[in-house]
Each structure stands twice: as structure tokens, then as C-alpha cells.
Amino acid sequence: MRTVEIGDMPVGDGHPPRVMGVLNMSVESNYDPSVHGGVSEAVRHVEEEMVPEGADIIDIGLQSANPKNDWLPEEVERDRLAKALAVVDEVDADVAFSIETRYAGVAEEAIQGGFDLVNDVCGFADPEMPKVCEEYDVPVVKMASPPDIKKPGHLKSIDDIFEALERGGFTDKTIIDPAFGGWYDERTYEDNWEMFRRLREFRAFGRPILTATNREDFLGDLAGRPETEDQLPVSLAAATMEVERGAHIIRTHDVAATKDVVQVAHALGDERSIRDDEPRVVELRNVSERELGRTLSLRENATGREPSSTLCFQVDGLDEATEAALRTWADRHSLALAIDPGADALLVGTTGELRDAVADADADGGVDDRDREPLAPILETVRSALDRRGSAD
């Protein structure tokens, strides 16, 4: 999993989940408490409420992405950007600022004015967007959308969403957003529920994940809460599950409550590794067949068959020697291996396959001497996982 730096704040596995608070400069936005059209009012709200409540990022929106509202041209966003830039300039607080836009020209002006992150709600529908972000070396959120500047998020199935995220590629500092919500009439609550259940599959991209499900009707419906003002509890329940399933940024209108739940979810959830100078290995539990299939299909550096009844391990901090040793060992024992160069590797096998592979490595001559040291931390973690499983294959 790649780590992306937003300013000096790392985002990714092993780092605390970040809370992105919403500040809208657009009067047409559908959630009134997030609308702060005046500069002084917005500055006060950020300094006295959002930052003390725990916001790590302030996402300033210049127009609503809700399909109930009309699309606005770039000129309108540019006019509103002047106020957003004044807010960034006047806020005296340690917080990162994100600009929500769909236009590369607006993004460039915002970056020049001090914004730390671009939140592209049209997923590179403007083909200049990734070029601008790369030129300024600024991270960008790519929200799953069709290649249409007027239709952010207008996708139905999870396969459509994966296809949209793949389209146009990524920058080195791309964060992905699956785009939950009721984007158009054909996107049903059932579609969103299915996507939520399969959220872990988006980890196949090997990039940090942003989720934005705060006060969404598809959650409220599950608890019989159709009104937006009654949907905080269901939003918090969802945020907890999002962190557990691999989300790294939680976008919300309710900063204080969301901060509390994501801290608990992070502290008590599955451990994920932080890349450093040495290989770090962590067992990934509850990995579905579909999630494995996504990862193996998306990475060019994937070898081995897709097994059933598996153990799954993420290996971070690969140097050349470790990568070469891991490839040789996995190939010798027909273990599935998917490597994202410069990021991590996913190692997969059945308990029987892994037990045989570890036994071979432990035997004299089972592993070349030059490979024994690089493989040691990997073998140790696999061995511990097999010990927990007991003798049954």
C-alpha cells in the first residue's frame, strides 16, 4: 500500500485514519450546516469548531456534486475560489486544505494559493487534472466518475466503478474515492450496500482510500431514518466499518463524533504495517475470493494461480534482494504473488501450500543462502499464522 503525504501528514496503512471536514462555499449545497459562504464566518468555523473537534483536512467545495443540483461552469467556481483562498490565507491553525473541484484550471489556481490537496469529483474527466497535480507534486483524490465533467459519480455497479478508476491512470500521489451515494436514479440503495460490503476490494489498487458516506440515505434507510438530520448514528456505524475495511480518510460533516469513532476503530482494528527500511509483513484476515481476484488482476506483477481457502500476507518495504528472494520462493511453491513496484507485495496460498513452502525453506538446501536472510521476516510471520491455524489444511 502506497503512503501519500498531504503536506507533512502521511496517509495510508499504519497511519491514523484522517478526518476530512466539509466546508462549502456554495449556497446550493444540500446540507445547510456545512455552508459558510462568507470569509469571516468560514474562518471562525474552521478555527473555533472544525480544528478543535479534530479535523485533519478541510475540504472546501465550490459547487455541489449532488445530482439534484444544476452543473455550474468553471467561471462560477473561479469566482467562489477567491473566497476560498482568503479562508486559507486567514486561518491560523495546523490543518491541511483540500479544494473540491472538477476543473484543472481551478485546481492549479488553488494549489498556487496554498491548497494542499485536490479533490477531483469527476475522476480526471478534465484530462489536464493529473498533469497539473503532477507538475505541482500535489496529491489528488480521484473519485470514480464517468468521463463527463457534468456527471460526477454517475455510475452504477462496482465493476463500472473499478473501470472508471482505472480509466486515465493515476499520479504517484493519487487517493481513490469509490463514490458512494445516490448519484442518479439507476444507482439503488442495494447497489451502495453491495459496494459497501465489498469495500476491501478497492485496496487492490494499492492506494489510500477516501470514503464519503456521512448522512447518506442508503444508510438511513437501513435504520428507518429517511431524514438527513437523523442520520448521524448510522453514519458513525458506517465510519467504523470503513476504517476496519481499509479506508484512510473519512469525509464528514460531523467532525467531532466521527473523529472519536475512527480513533477507536483504528486502535482496536486489524494491524496494518508501516513501510520503513526493513521488510514488514502483516497477515490480512477475512480476505474474500473477489478481493484476491481484484488484486491479482490489477497488478501486472502477479504470478501463481488464484487459490481457495487461503492465507494472505502484505509485505511492505521491499528492497531488490527481498523482492527477488520472494519471487523465487513463491514461484518454486506455486504461491500467488502480486507485487506493486515501490509499494508492497501480496502473498497468497493455502495453509497446505504455505506449510510445505515454509518447511522447504527451513530445510537445508531448501532456500539459497543469499535468499535466506531477506526471507526471514516473511517466513517468521507466515510460520506464526500457520501455528495459529493448527494442523488442519
Q: What is the pLDDT of residues 262-287, one digit of tens each?
A: 999 999 887 665 555 567 787 777 77
For domain 280-389, give the fold: Alpha-Beta Plaits (3.30.70)
- Exposed/middle/buried for 369, CB within 10 Å: 0-12, 13-18, 19+? exposed
Measuring CA to CA, which residue among 50, 66, 54, 136 is closest to residue 100?
66
- Give the mean pLDDT of 304-318: 74
- Of 351 and 165, the structure prediction assigns the larger pLDDT to 165
- Give the mean pLDDT of 195-218: 94
94-146 confidence digits (pLDDT tens): 999 999 999 999 999 999 999 999 999 999 999 999 999 999 999 999 999 99
Sequence spans of domains, the chain: 4-268, 280-389
Query: Which pLDDT score is estimated for 308?
Result: 53
Mean pLDDT, the chain, whole residue set: 88
- Of 104 and 187, the structure prediction assigns the larger pLDDT to 104
Please report which confidence band the pLDDT of residue 393 belongs to, taking 50, 70 and 90 as the band edges.
very low
Please report which confidence band the pLDDT of residue 371 belongs to, taking 50, 70 and 90 as the band edges.
confident
- Give the mean pLDDT of 24-35: 62
Query: Which pLDDT score is estimated for 107?
Result: 97
For domain 4-268, give the fold: TIM Barrel (3.20.20)
Out of 131-145, 217-231, 297-311, least confident range: 297-311
Query: Which pLDDT score is estimated for 298?
Result: 82
Query: Residue 47: is its pLDDT beyond 90?
Result: yes
- Give the mean pLDDT of 77-103: 94
Report how far residue 232's alpha carbon sits from residue 239's, in angstroms, rounded to the nearest whole number: 10
Query: Which pLDDT score is estimated for 70?
Result: 79
- Give the mean pLDDT of 164-176: 96
Report how far residue 258's alpha carbon sits from residue 246's, in angstroms, rounded to the nearest whole number: 16
Report how far residue 78's alpha carbon sits from residue 69's, in angstroms, rounded to the nearest whole number: 18
Query: Which pLDDT score is estimated for 37?
Result: 61
